[in-house]
Amino acid sequence: MNSRTRISRRSLLRSSMVALPGLVVPFSVFGADSPRPCATTPRQTAGPFYPLGHEIENDADLTLLKGSATPARGEPIVVAGQVFDAQCRPAAGAVVEIWQACWSGRYNHLLDSNPAPLDPRFQYYGVSRADEQGRYAFKTILPGAYPATANWTRPPHIHFKVRAAGRRELVTQMYFAGQPLNEADRILMALAPGERERVVIPPQPPPSGGDPRGISMRFDLTLPA
């Protein structure tokens, strides 16, 4: 039994509702061990749309802005997981940033020339600080696909940047299993097949008693050595 298995059985299986700073995960994504080995998460480009620092909010719930009663448009999802270091130890206090397009495939960024509409109710960017077991969580929406070039449409994906004290930074992207555009994506297909498996995540249906509206994604991240 490796250290990750011990961690998972001790701390993850017991939780059906997980409260993390800034967010209560509405249903568990920590209810099962990750099937993926604790190998370094492949690096991928940050792309051109990393936030410029003008964000009005950066909490872990991207679906609802402060003072708004109306959620962002799109299918709500929970993205959560555990951050590990290169020795497969939980990266306590890791800072996990995400940024993504809204439901229409548009980023809230000056460099995005996509004519698709912006969603004024969507947060586009968020930060989750991992707990002592390296667990992070976000509530967001399924991002839309968007044109990268005239003959290349990027599949739905979420950008990640992960930092932890004393460790090297990781920049990567998470994809949704079953999306037809995945197989034609130049960034995803540039990874080796074994690496793709670590960033293409199968959605999990909510457990009985969970939020019936949403799906959850468990995306564990292992920092580079």
Backbone dihedral angles phi then psi of residue 10, each to the nearest 5 degrees: -75, -40
Binding residues (CB under 5 A) for Fe ion: these are: 47
* 54 annotated active-site: no
Query: Which residue's CB is nearer to Fe ion, number 47 or number 71?
Result: 47
> Of 107, 124, 125, 175, which one is the catalytic site residue?
107
Known catalytic residue: 109? no
CB of 173 to Fe ion, least distance (A): 7
Q: Choose between 12 and 201: whose C-beta lies nearer to Fe ion.
A: 201
Q: Which is nearer to Fe ion, 26 or 47 (CB)?
A: 47
φ/ψ region of 84 (left if φ > 0, alpha if ψ in -120 to 50, else beta) reads beta
Question: CB nearest Fe ion: which residue?
Answer: 47
**157 catalytically annotated:** yes
Whether 215 contacts 75, CB under 8 Å: yes
Could you tell me if 42 and 190 are in contact, meaning their C-beta atoms sit under 8 angstroms apart?
Answer: no
Residues 6+ apart with CB under 8 A from 120: none
27, 78 Cβ separation under 8 angstroms: yes
- Based on the residue annotation, tell me whether 50 is a catalytic residue of this protein: no
Catalytic entry in 109, 135, 159, 198: 159
Give least dist CB 188 to Fe ion, A.
11
| 107 catalytically annotated | yes
